Amino acid sequence: MIGFCRPWIISAGEWLKPLHELTKEEAEEPLRPNHEQIKAFKALKESLIRAPALGLPNYSKPFELYVHEVKGVASGVLTQAFGNAPRPVAYLSGQLDPVAKGHPGCLRNVAAAALLVEKAQEIVLGHPLTGHKLLMEKR
């Protein structure tokens, strides 16, 4: 269920990472989650019972993608203009590959952006997609 709802869960990748680590190796029965894993499980469970505040994509408007990377997890939000503010259309997340995880922070962020641009294509469908405008203005 989490996998299906992942695009509508903020920072899903960050919450899923500790749970993946719990089942990574041969787990003994019963599972003995630590505090971080219990917190992640509860956060994901809560996210399933809350209504998402996402808008439907409007393909006559350009998309913007906000991205950040923490501990090898890329998280982002795909937005479109709605009045004077950006409105979320999808939440995206994913694990960086082992090579990208070994790079310095600036390159991990580039890898995170590349990963999420690729994931966003399922929603954007080839329509205009730009990075966060603030980052473009700071060049």
* 63-137: CATH, from 3.40.1360.10, 3.10.20.370, 3.30.565.10, 3.20.20.70: 3.10.20.370
pTM of the model: 0.65
What are the residue ranges spanned by the domains of the chain? 2-49, 63-137
∠ Cα 51 54 56 (to 5°): 125
**Sign of the C-alpha dihedral computed for residues 12, 14, 17 and 19 taken in this order:** negative
Q: What tens-digit pLDDT sequence spans the chain (139 residues)?
A: 577 577 778 788 888 988 888 877 776 778 888 999 999 999 988 887 676 667 889 999 999 999 989 889 998 889 999 888 788 888 899 999 999 999 998 899 999 999 999 999 999 999 988 876 444 444 4
